[in-house]
Amino acid sequence: MKRLTTAAEVIDALGGDPSVAKLTKASSSTIWNWRAYFEAFPPNTYVVMQEALARRDLSAPPHLWKMRGVAKAKRAA
């Protein structure tokens, strides 16, 4: 399973802005903001997006959804 590490990678892997807009029922400008400014997704999109990623044999860390209590994993030196 390939692990994606950025919001942009997740959006691209799910088919780009129009596909993610349809999947999450968000506007295209909202998707653009997730990609360009916030670099994360709202928590209420976690399940639907994780399921879509899993169908593609992909994964992404929960911190990309700004979940409380989930810290960004530190990379080993």
Instruction: List, for residues 31-66, the tens digit of each pLDDT value.
Output: 999 999 998 999 999 999 999 999 999 999 999 998
Which CATH topology does 2-59 take? Answer: 434 Repressor (Amino-terminal Domain) (1.10.260)
What are the CB-based long-range contacts (under 8 Å, 24+) for 39-46? 39/6, 39/7, 39/8, 40/7, 40/64, 40/65, 40/66, 41/7, 41/10, 41/65, 41/66, 42/66, 43/67
Closest CA to 43 of 19, 12, 69: 69
- Weakest mean pLDDT among 3-7, 32-36, 37-41, 67-71: 67-71
- pTM to 2 decimal places: 0.86
